[in-house]
Amino acid sequence: MAQCIVIVQFDLPKRTEEQSIRGGMGSAPTYRKLATKGLIRKDYLNGEAGTGGVYLWESREAAEAWFTEAKIAELTERFGARPRLTWYDTHVTVDNLTGETRVNQTALISAAE
């Protein structure tokens, strides 16, 4: 089964590094708790094009269970702007931390090969 990447973007001004870290650390506990609901990783974004996050989910179903219309409304209220979500299925992963290349989460090539 393919993993799912969701990129969430808000059209907001770039924050300072301090603001970005404070915001991320404030919401990090929420996303840590999603480990049992299929969230593998979240990276917080902060740039000239806005703010947001990159989410790696175990499956599209897990991502869809989180990003409901109610969640989008909550995020819109919190940030004062409606987020844009871009959805991707990811079938092939090159993981340099583990030294693996995976297809649909199955390791095919390791660094030793």
Tokens of 108: 């095919």
| Lookup result for tokens 């974004």 | 45
Average pLDDT, rounded, for the chain: 94
Q: What pLDDT digit, counting tens, does each position of 95-110 carry?
A: 999 899 999 989 886 6
For residues 37 and 66, the answer to whether their CB atoms sit within 8 Å is: yes
Region 3-108: CATH code: 3.30.70.100
pLDDT at 1 (0 to 100): 86
Nearest to 92 by CA among 29, 2, 27, 9: 2
Q: What is the pTM of this model?
A: 0.90
